[in-house]
Chains A and B, each alone.
Chain A
């Protein structure tokens, strides 16, 4: 780990000011990506600004069919929230399968989506459920938030403050985890929402993406068989020692089918 200055922010405003002052500042939330990155000397910020303790970023509320999750809320709280389980069980289920208990007790939704790891689970929820990302400056539609691998629509001096999820008619998430790390090799969120059917895939490609053919088929007939015959091209999908692009493409169909069955 290289040396850096550590600042514990007392408010979002203070964090933003510190970020503006720093030559090369980074925000620290749960730290489950940033700390290992620092330890491996893959990042060398001048300042690390800790927003992990900010109460204003934490908490879950459900209001008029919208689930609102503060950016600093750990995955474990989302997974175990009775309100989330009732309103959007698929969201609680997804959060409950991120990493392991230690990760779920520290890692946050804001940190996860701002990092936009292509194998992270939350992007599938944000896009698959048609969520809205709220920042200190604006609201960004989930579909527009994730721009490229480890890249998002967030600009300079912009912090995610909360994510709001509209309650779907039904939804479910199925993940084929990397056998070693438990990140998603393929994760598929299917949802029948007020704005139509959504199928969002994480883990398989350079970032989360939707599968319009599956969405159209499910809009016509909501059944596992409706997606069983729809193959996603392996072109541009990720490949590593655990899963070839071809295997990932195949798993998208399998997980989509199982997600539809799970959603009922």
Chain B
């Protein structure tokens, strides 16, 4: 934007974004204010401070998830999926935001095979302009929409064929020994173990005991339902060549620079930005693990364009898979150079130098130098291979992934519905996710919990409503129902991981799995509870009024959601 819109060359524009309280997609996009304020500041030659208030956010920050879709699934007599046909109309809003056309296309249609062996998938998407706020990427972006459609129609197929919902999934899973698996929709999955995640989740949710719980609820006049979602997502966005082939105009690599300071402490400069994801912790763990440097000797620098190398930022659950991989590559270079310095000082061949636990050792001897000694020598190069090697110990790497990563898993939700009021109460929520290698289990758990909270919000509470004149009715938290703490159940979250096969860390990404896997689990549970009343379809969110109206055959007030 700086170079092309404002005509300010990159070296003259500095962006500092320190701790930001969450992003969730809506802060990726360039907004008109960004450009106008910079322009105005130059015009009047004074600094400008600008704060958007909540109402402005509601009325002009990009919204998410606005599809109208119809889907058809063909099955053979054994319940094997033969083909999926999808027709989607996607709202772009009044004008195009940054990723708007990408969300319902390559982040959506490419995921419609789900975790199944469906051999044929056809998808037609029409993107339409309307009078709403622009619609763009929001946690999950396209993949929640795809997952919702696939997992809802799989449940419908189970209901109509009479095959158990877990069993119909088992019959159609891509088997764990079939990877790499080329789907009929462009992408190749590298790894996964869908049946195991399902079985673990079924056991944790006591799927077999559900009918007894349904009966107990019925005895109290309540409706109980259970819903399964076995989802997949594509993240670690993205291989530049792949996204380029489907029309994206940006390269989507990431950068990292690693500076081993003269006394052996390490400064990392990353193009990934941390706005709540905990890069300072996870990236420091990577450094500590690979270079053997204690945590208090590691600094992670991000969010200041004057300090970091040119990067692409944090979105699409990519920081660890792409940014972390760049960091690993930069550290590899540091170790490689360190070995040359060590070989020179300890008078050994480079091939004989081993690096382990922060020390360079001559193989088979007790001759050893710590990283801090090597970095000291690199910055005070008195005894140094100066004709072959530059002084200093600082390396930079860019990493452009070979493929998306494909986290997946199984979410199972159980709900109880109050027939008198239509209120849906979540009785239990189980998640078993495959996020690849886990670097920090606590951060992974938090990411999954937060994502599920957002998914529950989407399924039961949140929606943007306009009146017939196009006025946004949900313009404040008085009407827009953000999930509050008392609406979010305790969740039982665990992982069952297979490693990503194409990045150096084996990580897949965890930022969006919760928001992608959970909405269909919740809605499948709601519709399982309402099924005995003959209700088999409901659009999100399943608000009390909507559920009550469905139960009582009452009409809903007319407003566009």
A residues sitting closer than 8 Å to B (CB atoms) are: 40, 176, 178-181, 183, 239-244, 246-247, 250-251, 254
Contacts and interface: CB of A to CB of B under 8 A. Distances in A.
B554 A246 contact: yes
Interface in B517-561: 543-545, 548-549, 552, 554-557, 559
B479 interface: yes
Contacts of A180: 461, 477-482
A250 B554 CA distance: 11
Given A242-B545, A246-B554, 19 more contacts: A40-B55, A176-B421, A178-B478, A179-B544, A180-B480, A181-B477, A181-B478, A183-B478, A239-B557, A240-B557, A242-B543, A244-B545, A244-B554, A244-B557, A246-B555, A247-B545, A250-B548, A250-B552, A254-B421
B6 interface: no
B418 to A, nearest CB: 9
Given A179-B544, A180-B479, A241-B465, A247 B554 contact: yes
B420 interface: yes
A241 B473 contact: yes
A181 B465 CA distance: 15
Given A179-B544, A180-B482, A250-B548, A241 B477 contact: no
16 contacts: A179-B481, A179-B543, A179-B544, A180-B478, A180-B479, A180-B480, A180-B481, A240-B557, A241-B559, A242-B479, A242-B545, A244-B545, A244-B554, A244-B557, A246-B554, A251-B421
Contacts of A183: 478
Choose among A181, A247, A250 the residue with the greatest number of B CB atoms under 10 Å from its CB: A247
A179 B461 contact: yes
Nearest to B541: A179
Contacts of A243: 545
Contacts of A40: 55
B478 A247 contact: no
A68 B41 CA distance: 58
A240 B420 CA distance: 19
Nearest to A181: B478
Given A180-B477, A241-B479, A244-B554, A254 B545 contact: no
Contacts of A244: 545, 549, 554-557
Nearest to A182: B484
A139 B148 CA distance: 60
B477 A247 contact: no
A75 B461 CA distance: 27
B277 interface: no
B226 to A, nearest CB: 23
B255 interface: no
Contacts of A251: 421
Contacts of B405: none
Interface in B2-44: none
Choose among A180, A239, A241 the residue with the greatest number of B CB atoms under 10 Å from its CB: A241
A183 B559 CA distance: 21
A174 to B, nearest CB: 11
Contacts of A179: 461, 481, 543-544
B5 to A, nearest CB: 32
B474 interface: yes
Closest 5 interchain pairs by CB? A180-B481, A181-B478, A254-B420, A179-B481, A244-B557
A180 B477 CA distance: 6
Contacts of B477: 180-181
A40 B478 CA distance: 14
Contacts of B481: 179-180
A213 to B, nearest CB: 19
Interface in B395-446: 420-421
A247 B555 CA distance: 10
Contact of A181 (B420, B479, B557): B479
Contacts of A176: 421, 544
Contacts of A178: 478
B107 to A, nearest CB: 29
Contacts of A250: 548, 552
A183 to B, nearest CB: 8
Nearest to B462: A180
A106 B499 CA distance: 53
Nearest to A39: B53
A241 B548 contact: no
A244 to B, nearest CB: 5
Contacts of B479: 180-181, 240-242
Nearest to B55: A40
A219 B544 CA distance: 32
